[in-house]
Structure 1
């Protein structure tokens, strides 16, 4: 008997001057926009995973400031359920020339309005929802997350 498990992911929401750091990436559905995001790895804390994914996908070193929200979303075909932890982060520096993860085309800075204008290109509805929640002021302290090994 097989067991069902959600895919635990993290996402970095980085805002600078009204623009949000996103990645343009190749997916099975074509080129899509997403926050820097990825899967939690064994032994990793959620904030550490967020920092790692942001660096790997955008070449930006980030600091995690707060939790924006926890999102549960199932792909329309029902094949995968994601449990996403989205974090408000700030960019500390950029490693110019750093190779990005396989499948990542480039990092881009877009406004909310630019995201609204290209909703069909978003990897999931979570991309815009995280931005909306951030703009609504949703922030939770990091100490709501406990990491035990």
Structure 2
């Protein structure tokens, strides 16, 4: 397996992340979060898969930690490899569609998360410059095109 080479010449493996795609009444659950550079950006509830955790467990955990909504995964939408234009990091994002219920407004949100929002596709497009990455719209557009794969495709062999 080849590693991606960054502009600095270092080889770096992609970071494995999950993203929850949730639609309710033509609005998508997103978060407003502070990026590493201090800017406020918009993203799906998303994050890294932790050691000893399955992809599905990571999606459930990240969604709750970032939005205080309980996420029920239903299908895989896609697996996306993306590298930042600066070439300093690459990401392998696993987009999972599902539903939410059981919101806990008293649960503290992850550090860096300002708030969760429900936005239409059009509202997200109008904020395109604030999207954390092009993966946000790609996941939503693939979901809207009807892309769905069984969760059973996501195998976890954890010991």
Partner of 2:129: 120
Measure, in 2, the Cα distance between the counterparts of 1:41 and 1:28. Answer: 20
Q: Which residue of 1 aligns with 2:7?
A: none
Gaps of 5+ in 2: 1-9
Tell me the distance in 1 between the aligned counterparts of 2:29 and 2:22: 5
**1:145, 1:33 → 2: CA distance?**
26
Provide the aligned C-alpha RMSD in A.
1.0
- In the TM superposition, what is the alpha-carbon distance from 1:92 to its structure 2 partner? 2.1
Where do 1:73-112 residues align within 5 Å? 73-112=82-121
Where does 1:1-149 land on structure 2 (aligned, <5 Å)? Answer: 4-29=12-37, 30-149=39-158
Give per-residue Cα distances to partners, 1:101-132, cap 9 Å, x unaligned. 00000000000000111100100000011000
Per the TM alignment, residue 3 of structure 1 is displaced from its structure 2 partner at its CA by 5.3
Normalised by the length of structure 1, the TM-score is 0.97
How many pairs does the alignment contain?
Answer: 148
Gaps of 5+ in 1: none
